[in-house]
């Protein structure tokens, strides 16, 4: 089934683009759901912390689990990077979720919700933290209410730089990986171009 990207909001498209960029920088074989989650975090600094807080999930622990799972993503040097099958299913599910809610546009929160409903490594992590589709649906609805009332910034319990240490670590790790790959290559034993 073909995904209609014209239905995605600009922020959702930006997040998909960020995920592709991160995949290229880290030389992953495909754009995986974990990378998409990092891209969503980078695109919307309030949404996921708000949702995790509302579900009583420790944000730092959750994001550390996502970061740790990224070590299992396979690498491949390639000029073209494609969405993994599991991420295509997530994006298709996000379209379905938006449509079920009567929305023509697929906002970031639907992608986040779909990450918890389609089998993929992020869903596995969510299950470990007691996040299920019912909780996700409730928190997405709550987020949409507050966002539509322009009260989101008031609700985020801690928006200073300490609140985003894990996210900042992702960016630093990606920059470090870029530097290491430039000097040493993308994986142990890689010598091409030295």
Is there a contact between 75 and 24 (Cβ–Cβ < 8 Å)? no
Average pLDDT of the residues in 139-159: 68
Task: Tell me the helices (H) and strands (E) count for the chain, helix number first.
Answer: 10, 2
Which domains, ranges and CATH numbers included, belong to the chain? 5-184 (1.10.1780.10)
Quickly count: other Cβ atoms within 10 Å of residue 49's Cβ: 22
Give the per-residue pLDDT at 133.
Answer: 93
Confidence bin at 117 (pLDDT 50/70/90): very high
pLDDT in tens, 42-99: 888 888 888 999 999 999 999 999 989 988 888 877 667 789 999 999 999 999 999 9
Quickly count: other Cβ atoms within 10 Å of residue 94's Cβ: 26
Say which residues have a Cβ less than 8 Å from residue 67's Cβ, sequence separation at least 6.
166, 169, 170, 173
Give the per-residue pLDDT at 150.
Answer: 61
Higher model confidence: residue 75 or residue 180? Answer: 75
Length of the chain: 194
Confidence bin at 148 (pLDDT 50/70/90): confident
């Amino acid at each position: 089934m073909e995904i209609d990207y014209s239905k995605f909001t600009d922020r959702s498209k930006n997040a998909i683009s960020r995920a592709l960029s991160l995949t290229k920088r880290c030389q992953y074989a495909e754009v995986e759901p974990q990378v998409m989650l990092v891209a969503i975090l980078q695109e919307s600094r309030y949404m996921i912390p708000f949702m995790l807080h509302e579900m009583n999930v420790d944000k730092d622990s959750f994001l550390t689990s996502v970061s740790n799972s990224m070590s299992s993503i396979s690498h491949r040097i390639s000029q073209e990077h494609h969405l993994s099958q599991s991420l295509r299913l997530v994006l298709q599910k996000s379209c379905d979720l938006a449509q079920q809610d009567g929305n023509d546009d697929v906002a970031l929160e639907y992608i986040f919700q779909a990450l918890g409903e389609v089998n993929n490594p992020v869903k596995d992590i969510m299950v470990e933290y007691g996040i299920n589709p019912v909780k996700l649906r409730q928190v997405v609805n709550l987020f949409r209410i507050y966002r539509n009332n322009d009260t989101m910034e008031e609700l985020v319990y801690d928006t200073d730089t300490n609140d985003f240490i894990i996210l900042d670590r992702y960016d630093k790790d990606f920059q470090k990986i870029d530097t290491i790959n430039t000097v040493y290559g993308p994986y142990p034993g890689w010598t091409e171009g030295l």
